[in-house]
Structure 1
Amino acid sequence: MSPSFIRRTPFGGDAPSRPHALLAVLTVLVLAAVAALTGPVPAARAAVGLTRVTAFGANPGALAMYVYRPASLPAGAPVVVALHGCTQNAQGYADGSGLPRYADRHGFLLVLAEQSTSNNPSRCFNWFQTADSRRGQGEAASIRQMVAHAVSSYGADARRVHVTGLSAGGAMTSVMLAAYPDVFASGAVVAGLPYDCARDTAAAHSCMNPGVDLTPAEWARRVRAAHPSWTGPWPRVAIWHGDRDTTVVPRNADELRDQWTALHGLSQTPTRTVLIGPNSTRQEQYAAGDGTVAVEVDRVPGMGHGTPVDPGTGPSQCGAAGAYFLDTICSSHWITGFFGLHGAGGPPGTGGLPAPAGPAATGVTETSVTLDWAAVPGAAGYTVHRDGAPVATPAAPPFTDTGLAPGSVHTYAVAAHDADGRSGALSGTITVRTSGGAPAACWTSSNYEHVRAGRATTSGGHTYAKGSDQAMGLYNTFVTHTLRESPAGHYTLADDGCDPATSAAAVTTTTRATTG
């Protein structure tokens, strides 16, 4: 963006003037609120080495480009674009989020876009201005040019480009996914907002809090309008949000879910809900017909506004706690897994290897599951998927998944990858319940009684299962459902049968194979 002239603002920075005085005033007012989207970068932190790239294109949005390149970056590596929040910068977001650690571990190129005070006095990406949030324009076009430069100059794989960001950066992530579905395979929106929620600064404030409620069809229509000629597949989307966020309220996670499930032609009721991480983050998965998780919502309990991190040296730990880097769960671990980067092969179906046959659980304890499957000729290794996300890359079967909760239920599938790192078709799935834990309980009653008993909640005259948020219909004494409680306090619909005596069965195998 090249402002025609510069004016001073109450924030002490320089901001571009707009053609209309009213818009300029609104910009200042909303930025005062948006500045709370993220806080200052903690000062005491060991910085990773970023490289500034100055010639990556015409750069109509006047953004800065930084790159973190692992020492052993393979040819044809994936790309992850990261977008910081207001008041932050590229270096601070790299250090706080822990993303460079996963770039080193899994061999992807990390590209970080950086906003300037010349564009926005609080360093917010201008997700709420149409001049910067439309295909081929402003900041959105600059980020697209960064991706093109990464592919051409670093030999990256244009088929495996992903984007993530926090708050204003999360809202800009929505912009990139909507405007460039031909560029991004998937994205992760952290404490962000749906695409095209606001087209001016005043509306941006309302979108943040209390949020805007539109139908899934209308949200989807707005994304389709961003690139009307697009007929290909839509990006996969993970949505991360703290359930105590008062800056960008959790309602936005629901609206984002509605937007992307509608685009993928999916129900707004999750296919499955699991608890992940050290703090039992609730992960709602919305699976496509081939079993691939197309949309995922991760609701972080007790967390306000920020990027979830979990400092430490464990395999699923990352980041540095500080202002708006909140010590809860390492979201970068789960996000890069959702992107398909934990295995060398990328998303299942990239290569030509067949699906591994006969996956089975050969051992179950309270905290582990041992899996076995038939070896695939020509396979250089395998990627094990738990609950729709890759979790391990063993060289050969069998594999033992550890650190699970007693009495927890998980779904597994396996894909083989070849020597070039291309992942084959995904196997059929098996569902396994670890031993121990409290047995499941089943309850059959009217929606009215379920709410009175604390097993469900009511909103707008409708009833929702507590924990899973599955829709149960009208709040009255005439609609009856069966709910299954497992773990304690988490209820799912079980109208097709719920027997507490058999709910602890260890293994159920499905024979349907998927192609990924």
Structure 2
Amino acid sequence: MRITQVLLAVVAAVGLATTFPPTATAAVPPPTRGTLGEHDITGTYVSGLSSGGFMANQLHVAYSGVFQGAGIFSAGPYDCAQNSLNTALYACMDTWQARRTPAQLVQLTRDRAAAGSVDPVANLSGDSVWLFHGTNDNTIDRAVNNDLATYYRDLGANVAYDTSTGAGHAWVSPLGPNACSSTSSPYVNQCGTADPVREMLTHLLGSVKPATTSALTGTLVQFDQGAHVPGGNPGSISMGREGFAYIPRACESGPCRLLVTLHGCYQYHGLVGDALMEGSYLNEYADTNDMIVLYPQATTMAGNPRGCWDWWGYQSARYPLRSGPQLTAVVNMVRALGGAGGGTDPTDPTDPTDPTDPTDPTQPPPTTPDCVTASNYDHTVAGRAYVRTGSTYALGSHQPLGLWNTATSSTLKQTEPGYWVTC
């Protein structure tokens, strides 16, 4: 009798641990192979968790003319990593090493905007930004997430910052299969009645209708990401072959908003399947709020065994710039869906109709780049160089410049956005 009672208690506990709230349904339609067709997009936003949160911030900053706001679970400020894995690990996740202050990163952003490698920072003023950090999140230090809030506020964004939930390192929604304090695959947690997704969407969009409690009626499009990646080979930039987009029925013929959602490390489709798309609670809100949800997919490659998005330079030193390969690919997907006016970006170097193509005889001859002499420290702060293990290297070309300090000087010139060489 006692064994039976114990078994019943265990079954009940398991049932409680895996039961969703009565108003929520965890399901995603079977994917339909297709392409990203153009829609009437009235606003574009970006969201993400962890490496996807860093990537969401990079997209928002580099393409602030495209994205009107961002929702970020557990990440740090723009280019915190400074093209260094050590800095990413020990200054921008843990805080054992010194990191750039928000003020320094704001100035770096302004300098890059002046050079044309990111969009004008004035676009960020007034944008809605929603941030989240759980009290049981030991993966990204709270101080780093605080820096992200300060960075955005210093640029004039309208920031809402939720630090009240006892979540681990995860996306949090009423459909999460994991316990609130968990930090484990598939990194989607449920925290009682809390609905951070509604908070995020309300802050970004102004108001939202309740999520549907019925089965989803839209289409989950499975598309070839290679069609949007510079060079056509997504694996070469640590992106998966397949991406996904949830298209509500109302968006097939009417105006809709677009939300790009970026997974975290160990959370890409090839590892966790549909777990994020099923558990994020975004499709349920998309159905009732006329919103397309785009789910780009990263994958693993040498230097990226966890399938993270590039926020420290494992694939390209241009990772936080408009010319960053992953940023370019995601924005190409956005444009294919009709975001930012659709079509291709006239300043995108992968666009064959680029009006700044130096081989075009109708264009004026290129000017000779100016040489900039400064200390190696100042070069890194200005975004012309980066530091790794105490030495300085030119951004883009990776040319060694010597010790990273204020006493050692170098002279650099920019030959194209985000690519610096010694004079």
> TM-score, structure 1 length as denominator?
0.30
Higher strand proportion (structure 1 or 2): 1
Larger radius of gyration: 1
> TM-score, structure 2 length as denominator?
0.36
Higher helix proportion (structure 1 or 2): 2
